[in-house]
Structure 1
Amino acid sequence: MALNDVHPAKQPVNRSKLRMFLGRLYFTGLRYIRWTFNRSVKYAAAVSKTSLPHLVARHNTPLYRPLRNVDRWLQENKVTNLRLAAEKMNGLILRPGETFSFWRLVGKPTRRKGFLEGMVLANGSFYPGVGGGLCQLSNLIYWLALHTPLTVTERWRHTHDVFPDGNRTQPFGSGATVVYNYIDLQIKNETPFHYQLRVWLEETNLQGEFRCENPSPYQYEVYQKDHLITLEWWGGYLRHNIIRRRVFDAENNLIGDDYITENHAIMMYEPMLSRDSGSL
């Protein structure tokens, strides 16, 4: 669990551009140091074009959504960014003891590598930024991982709830945000079996799945509890919930009901808006 998971969202804080720049510089440098000198973490890097035989989890998300006040070209560019990032990790083999790191695989998204300006969310708003839109891929991978025996060792929640729930199919707060390179998504294989991540784009959807060399003995159901919207003293709204996971054995017997994480997000819209107003 990331530290970001456990601290409730508070009143929005306006930080200066200098402070934000220095903060990014510090935390980015710290991540590079950890990548270089922390030998206790073995990062997965091997890729196989041959799929492992057993499907464990599969999910897809739409590439285009009706988002109010968001230009279409930002979504078109996002698709390009997703395709480039997916190519870096499609077929990744996660051996026992290895850790998946989103940014170790994707690398820094730059124009030179073909990444375009997509929608970047920051401080409750959005703006065009090179590599924007990659959170859709990290969201998908995190959701898939919750339906496997793999262990999520680093996940950062979205601090703001930017768009109302339009056709939401997953619980609020079941995604994982990423920012190069200090806000990462990391998943460790603590099982004795090889797992494989496959992610690819079709015409209208981003597709993903985890596969394994052995059949999975478990099935999972991820759900939310204690969903609540609160009016804060400073005039804004916070949205809260807890994400849990039911675990079933091969005979569909409930054998576990585990706490996963909790979410606290600053709402950037009025709570009573219509659900068809658009969502991420």
Structure 2
Amino acid sequence: MSRKLFCELSPFTYRISVTKEILIRRLKWIIDNNNYANTIITKKLSNKVYTHKSLIRRKLGNVNMKLQENKAVNLKLAASKINGIIILPKEVFSFWKLVGNCTELKGYKEGLVIKSGKSSRGIGGGLCQFTNLIHWMILHSSLEIIEHHHHNQIDMFPDYGRQVPFGTGTSVMYNYLDYQFVNNTDQAFQLIIYTTDKYLCGELRSEKSLKYSYHIVEENKHFTKEKDNYYRNNEIYRKKVDKRTGNLIDKTLIKRNHSKVLYDKKFIPTKLIK
């Protein structure tokens, strides 16, 4: 039997470990010399780079739908902290530096969170959907992702209205699991994020049109049975295309997934099992 980590000994040691990581991140924000984006304007930049929306209330296995209702509240609160944010050249976007700690005093509710590969509840839960949306839009741009975490070793829920390939999601936890990207271009970008009754909606905008377009494609999608377990497999590529000529400039593998399925095998399409 493997030896337990300090954070796994008890709820108390877990809280100690989390507090330590939070303090370390706050110190990094002070000493890392990054210029973090913090300017919000209501007027939209002129060029629309990419748009996306995701359904807020989704059926996720046996997860209580009340947590989905609470997530809607959490997403709306977080959106108010980011909507209109301008990312100037050389600036870094940090999700947690903008949103801050999600507490009950700020109006956040209990939502779905993932801890140690299992679904759980926590105040501010469900914000992974927020960073999922941002990440998907940033993948379609020339902005550079510099911090990204993902539950890529497990496949927790069967597909339900999936719009993007498995393995292009994110994992965030205040504040030590952050989502960050840097603007290494010569123009400003802007994120427009808002919620409707049904959707979390996003726009990535820029001052002027981009020279290239970016396309995310999924290949080699299948499931495998290995001993008594099933695994989801796929490869995620990003294609860079010259807008003027339509020529493919580059095709880069950005993720290869081999993730243990944690739900009932009856939800796995038999035609995808190899």
TM-score, normalised to structure 1, is 0.87
Question: Cα distance, 1:218 vs. partner?
Answer: 1.6
Which structure has the higher relative contact order (CA within 8 Å, separation 6+)? 1
Count of aligned residue pairs for this structure pair: 262
Taking the aligned partners of 1:249 and 1:210, their CA distance within structure 2 comes to 19
Residue number in structure 2 paired with 1:149: 142
For normalisation by structure 2, the TM-score amounts to 0.88
What SS does the aligned partner of 2:130 have? helix
Match of 1:38 in 2: 32
Hey, what does 2:199 align to over in structure 1? 205
Report the residue type matching 1:56 in the other structure. V
Question: Structure 1 vs Structure 2: percent identity of aligned residues?
Answer: 37
- Output the CA distance in 2 between the equivalents of 1:24 and 1:46: 29
CA distance in structure 2 between the aligned counterparts of 1:238 and 1:24, rounded to whole angstroms: 30
2:237 is the alignment partner of 1:244: yes
Q: Does 1:63 align with 2:56?
A: yes
1:231 CA displacement? 4.4
| CA RMSD across the alignment | 2.1
Extract unaligned runs of 5+ from structure 1: 1-10, 276-280
1:161–1:268 CA contact under 8 A, matched in 2:
yes
Q: Which residue number in structure 2 is paired with residue 218 of structure 1?
A: 212
Instruction: Spell out, residue by residue over 1:89-128, the C-alpha distance to the aligned partner (whole angstroms, 9 max, x if none).
Output: 0000000000110100000000011111111122332222
Residue 115 (1) aligns with residue 104 (2): no
1:140 corresponds, among 133, 140, 145, to: 133
Q: Structure 1 CA distance, aligned partners of 2:247 and 2:193? A: 30
Distance (Å, rounded) in 2 between the aligned partners of 1:240 and 1:82: 30
Code of the aligned partner of 1:244: Y
Give the AA of the match of 1:26. K
Tell me if the contact between 1:124 and 1:161 (Cα under 8 Å) persists in the aligned partners.
no
User: 1:163, 1:269 within 8 Å by CA — same for their partners in 2?
Assistant: yes
Aligned partner (choices 5, 18, 34) of residue 24 of structure 1: 18
How far does the alpha carbon of each residue in 1:163-194 deviate from its partner, in whole angstroms, 9 at most, with x for none?
A: 11122221111111101111110011010010
Runs (4+) of structure 1 moved beyond 4 Å?
230-233
**Amino acid in structure 1 at the alignment position of 2:70:** N
Question: Can you give the 5+ residue segments of structure 2 that lack an aligned partner in the other structure?
Answer: 270-274
Instruction: Name whichever of 124-133 and 98-107 sits farther off.
Output: 124-133
Q: Which of 94, 107, 131 is 1:101 aligned to?
A: 94
Q: SS in structure 2 opposite 1:139?
A: helix
